[in-house]
Amino acid sequence: MRQDIVIRGTTRTGLVILLPDDLEFGVLIQRLREKLAQAGRFFQGAEATVQVGSRALSASDQDAIARILDEADMALRTVTKGGDPVAEAQAALKAAEQSRHSGTLPAAALLAESETAMVVTRTLRSGQSVRHQGDIIVLGDINPGAEVVASGHIVVMGALRGVAHAGCTGNTGAFVAAIKLRPTQLRIAHVIGRAPDEQDNLQTVPEVARVRDGMIVLETPTESKR
Amino acid sequence: MGQVIVVTSGKGGVGKTTTTANLGTALAQLGNKVVLLDADIGLRNLDVVMGLENRIVYDLVDVIEGNARLKQALIKDKRLDTLYLLAAAQTREKKDVKPQQMRELTEQLAREFDYVVLDCPAGIEDGFKNAIAGAQKAIIVCNPEVSSVRDADRVIGLWDAQPESKGPAMLIVNRVRPKMVARGDMLEIDDMLEMLAVDLLGIVPEDEHIIVSTNRGEPAVYHTESKAGKAYQNIARRLTGEQVPIMQLQDDESIWAKFKRIVGLSRG
């Protein structure tokens, strides 16, 4: 996904205009002009802080930005380096939140950016949660009230009694497998399934949950081969 | 150094205070020097259950704030010479005490007593954090019902997640009704243990003696006919390291059934 210019209102410092890193400056200037033109008179009279990310700007570049704002009847407050403070704060908050919930798990492991599998070698109890970009393998149980969220598959070498969300970024091909699959709720991509209210003919074999025809179905590992 | 044990559950009303009172009394009956510490600041109960309410002059917060010396605040039990209570403050709040202060207090007590037993408040907020701060072992009290098991699981998770390395959490299943278990109307203890994955310290049956003894301020362990009292005595012996088999909670009917089976009258 290509990044675009973001204009955000703040209560104390007026508007903040965030310039993405991955655009060439000429194109960026053009984009900014178009964007402000599209807004018409909406931003008229506003003061703006321009954040330029990691980009190094020359004095003439800064002047160019000031001119564009001037054309839109806006005042340039400052030009600062650095990225989106809101996104950064959200990321920091998320990291803090997860390390708080995770108990003894190192926060770094939870937030690992890589697409490799993450291995959790303990039981997750009520209130604990693990999130990972990639697959998650749990050597232990997921108790009711605990949750596991992965962008890839989730494999539990134990009893899954809590909530599992596989393919959380939209991958409907993701699956959830467990030795004992008794989840409170299963989610795969945007599909949500829950255990039937009357628990009958419970399987005692390992099961795999997949999305078939828009619904979550449970199969044995052999049935589940595609 | 004595042991510092916290009695906790997450959920309220499962029998933490009753367990603390009975276990403490039973440990003292075995000849140990025991102090019970009520960490439920603002909602104290342990003193009432022990029948010591009218002897409170100074409380835990007085000691922590330096208004009283520890010796002045310790209340000696009516019946046992080696049993003491440090009452909670009723007019203060949980946040008036900090975990570090509790840690120092329990350390000081552990130097003089064999067992320091803390009665933890319900919940997982400040009061809980204070109560577990200085403890090396945790007794989780749980009733055989799903909400209680869920909260117990949450609390065990929080206990395990402490940065310091501590002893294991141990489970007491309290208020078990043998007839309901026999009918299959209650959670199976094996299922509870499978999910919670902790050691079973004991099973305590539902017992009307508990209500009577609580109202009288006289722990059930004094009543020889009380099954719950007997169960708490067994738990106390297990805590001291003795091997005591888990009490069978079969009632008379099933003993009769067992007898019939032995003599071959029953088809089952």
Positions of E strands within chain B: 3-8, 34-38, 75-76, 83-86, 115-119, 137-142, 169-176, 199-205
**Structure confidence by residue, pLDDT tens digits, B212-255:** 999 999 999 999 899 999 999 999 999 999 999 988 776 555 55
pLDDT value of position A100: 52
Q: Label the pairing between strands B169-176 and B137-142.
A: parallel
Give the minimum alpha-carbon distance from B189 to chain A in angstroms, rounded to a whole number.
16
Range of the domain at A189: 105-219
Q: Residue B205 and residue B247: Cα distance in Å, rounded? A: 10
Q: Is B99 helix (H, G, I), strand (E, B) or coil?
A: helix
Contact A125 B160 (CB under 8 A): yes
Contact A33, A71 (CB under 8 A): yes
- ipTM of the assembly? 0.74
**Structure confidence by residue, pLDDT tens digits, A146-174:** 999 999 999 999 999 999 999 999 999 99
Residues A206 and A136 in one domain: yes
How many domains, chain A? 2
Which one of A83, A118, A148 terminates a domain? A83
Which segments in chain B show pLDDT lower than 50?
267-268
Residues A69 and A120 in one domain: no
Dihedral sign (CA A161, A165, A167, A172): positive
**Which residue of chain B comes nearest to A104, CA vs CA?**
B161
Residues A47 and A153 in one domain: no
| Maximal C-alpha separation, chain A | 74
Q: Residue B157 and residue A142: Cα distance in Å, rounded? A: 12
Please report how the helices B126-133 and B99-112 are oriented relative to each other, as an axis angle in degrees rounded to 10: 30
CATH number of A73's domain: 3.30.70
Contact B86, B37 (CB under 8 A): yes
Q: Residue B164 and residue A220: Cα distance in Å, rounded? A: 42
Beta bridge mates, A186: A164, A193
Say what percent of chain A tops pLDDT 70: 79
Residues A11 and A68 in one domain: yes
CB atoms within 10 A of CB A90: 11
Of B153, B158, B161, the CB nearest to A143: B153
Q: What are phi and psi of B62, to 5 degrees?
A: -60, -40
Residues A211 and A117 in one domain: yes
Measured between beta carbons, which residues in chain A are less than 8 angstroms from residue B150? Answer: 126, 144-145
Residue partners of A29: CB distance under 8 A and separation at least 6: A64, A65, A68
Among B41, B78, B79, B81, smallest CA distance to B60 is for B41
Contact A128 B157 (CB under 8 A): yes
Of B153, B160, B197, the CB nearest to A145: B153
Contact B119, B20 (CB under 8 A): yes
Domain for residue A126, yes or no? yes
**Structure confidence by residue, pLDDT tens digits, A62-77:** 888 888 888 888 877 7
Residues A203 and A137 in one domain: yes
Residues A41 and A72 in one domain: yes
pLDDT value of position A107: 40
Say whether pLDDT at A81 is over 80.
Answer: no
Residue partners of A206: CB distance under 8 A and separation at least 6: A177, A178, A179, A180, A181, A220, A221
Residues A195 and A121 in one domain: yes
pLDDT value of position B2: 95
Place of tokens 């059934």: B257
Identity (one letter) of the amino acid at A72? A
- List the domains of chain B with CATH numbers: 3-262 (3.40.50.300)
Give the minimum alpha-carbon distance from A153 to chain B in angstroms, rounded to a whole number.
24
Identity (one letter) of the amino acid at A206? P
Beta bridge mates, B83: B34
Best A101, A143, A160, A182 residue to mutate vs chain B (most B CBs within 10 Å): A143
